[in-house]
Amino acid sequence: MAMRQTPLTCSGHTRPVVDLAFSGITPYGYFLISACKDGKPMLRQGDTGDWIGTFLGHKGAVWGATLNKDATKAATAAADFTAKVWDAVSGDELMTLAHKHIVKSVDFTQDSNYLLTAGQDKLLRIYDLNKPEAEPKEISGHTSGIKKALWCSEDKQILSADDKTVRLWDHATMTEVKSLSFNMSVSSMEYIPEGEILVITYGRSIAFHSAVSLELIKSFETPATINSASLHPEKEFLVAGGEDFKLYKYDYNSGEELESYKGHFGPIHCVRFSPDGELYASGSEDGTLRLWQTVVGKTYGLWKCVLPEEDSGELAKPKISFPETTEEELEEIASENSDSIYSSTPEVKA
C-alpha cells in the first residue's frame, strides 16, 4: 500500500536556514543544530525536532554550525567575524574566536580538542581548544573564500572547498596533497568517514569522490540546481535539495530517482541524514527545518504508522503523535533556564 511522506516542520527561525548538523548517537539520543541568517543557532532533539535551546551571542548571520560527537559542545561560524564554541548542555558560551572576515565553516576533531575554521579570508585555522589564548595554526593556499572545511582520515587530513576548487591537506605538514577543479561553483561538501567518501554538489551534479585520493567514484545528474546532498550511513540512498524547492531521493548504486516531493516554500540550502539513517533533515530559504522519514510508514520518533480502514480508498499515511508531556517539559526547562539559552519554545508540527 502506498504511503505518503509526512514531514515534521520545525519552526522558530526568522530567516533562511543555511546549515545543519547532527551529533553522533549519545545515551540521550542524537541532536540537531541549525545555522540561520537570523544569527540565532538552535539545538533540537534529533529524532523529533523538539526545540531544546537557542545559542544567543552572535551579532550577524550564522553561516555554519556543528556539534561534537557526544553533543557536549557546539561551534558556530558567523558574519560578525567570529567563531564561537558553546557548552551544548548548559548553552553557555565557552569562547569567542576572532577572525578578520566572515567565518563560514567550523568542524571539531573527533576528540573535540581542536576546532577547524574557514571563511572569506581564504585561510584555514586550527584552534587548540585547551589553549584558547594561543594563536591558531594557519594554512593558506585557497584563492577565494572558503565555503566548507572538514577534518578527514581520523583528523590526519583536511578537506576544504572554495568557489570552484576542493583541496586535500595534510595536517602534520600543513601542505596541500591534491586538489580538484570544477567548471562551476561548488555548492556543498559532505564527508563520510565509513568508506572515506566525499560528496560534492555543483550545478545539477552530485559527485562522489574518494576522500583519500580525490578520485571520482561516480556522479549523478539531477533535474535542478542542487545546493546540498547527503549520503545514507549505509550508502543505500542519497538525498538532495536545491533551487526548485524539491527534495530528491536516489538509489546510490543505480542512480535511479526513487522519490521527489515538495515541502518547503523556498530553495533548500542544506540536507543531512541522521546518524542512524532513519530520517533526514532539510533547511530552507523559508526559515524552517523539516524532518523526513527514510522509510515512509515506519513507526519512529513522532511518526506512528496508522493504516486506514479497508476499502476506504485512502492512502495510508503516518500519523504524527506528540507525547502529552512534551510541551510541559519544555516549558519547565525554559523557566529553569530563562537566563541561559532558553527563550521561547519554537513549534514542531506536521
Structural domain count, the chain: 2
Which of 295, 312, 339 terminates a domain? The answer is 295
pTM here is 0.88
SS3 (DSSP) at 64: strand
C-alpha cell at position 145: 573564500
Do the domain assignments include residue 307?
A: no
Separation in Å, CA 244 to CA 137, 146, 182, 206: 40, 25, 22, 16
How far is Cα 343 from Cα 55, in angstroms, rounded to an integer? 10
33, 177: one domain: yes
42, 23: one domain: yes
118, 130: one domain: yes
- Residue 343: predicted pLDDT: 40
24, 130: one domain: yes
261, 233: one domain: yes
pLDDT higher than threshold 60 for residue 348: no
Q: Give me the percent of the chain exceeding a pLDDT of 70.
A: 87
Do the domain assignments include residue 304?
A: no
- CATH number for position 221: 2.130.10.10
196, 174: one domain: no
Cell 538509489 belongs to 251
Which of 295, 313, 334 terminates a domain? The answer is 295
Residue 308's pLDDT band, with cuts at 50, 70 and 90, is: low
Do the domain assignments include residue 28?
A: yes
pLDDT in tens, 250-261: 999 999 999 999
- Residue 266: predicted pLDDT: 96
Q: Which has the closest alpha carbon to 156: 214, 114, 206?
A: 114
CA angle 263, 37, 41 (to 5 degrees): 90
How far is Cα 117 from Cα 161, in angstroms, rounded to an integer? 12
Please state, as a whole number, how many other Cβ atoms lie within 10 Å of the Cβ of residue 313: 6
Do the domain assignments include residue 10?
A: no
134, 250: one domain: no
How far is Cα 43 from Cα 265, in angstroms, rounded to an integer? 22
Q: Which has the closest alpha carbon to 281: 40, 42, 14, 76?
A: 42
Residue 181: Cβ-neighbour burial (10 angstroms; 0-12, 13-18, 19+) = exposed
32, 123: one domain: yes
168, 223: one domain: no
Cell 589553549 belongs to 131
Do the domain assignments include residue 339?
A: no
Q: Which has the closest alpha carbon to 86: 54, 110, 109, 111?
A: 54
200, 167: one domain: no
What is the helix (H) or strand (E) element at residue 150, kind and residue range? strand 148-152
List the alpha helices (DSSP H) in 189-340.
326-336
Pick 327 or 243 by higher pLDDT: 243
136, 161: one domain: yes
Residue range(s) defining the domain that contains residue 64: 16-181
Which of 163, 181, 199 terminates a domain? The answer is 181
Do the domain assignments include residue 4?
A: no
Do the domain assignments include residue 226?
A: yes
How far is Cα 320 from Cα 300, in angstroms, rounded to an integer? 10
Do the domain assignments include residue 70?
A: yes
Phi-psi region of 341 (alpha: psi -120 to 50; beta: other; left: phi over 0): alpha
- What does the pLDDT average to over 338-344? 39
119, 251: one domain: no
Residue 156's pLDDT band, with cuts at 50, 70 and 90, is: very high
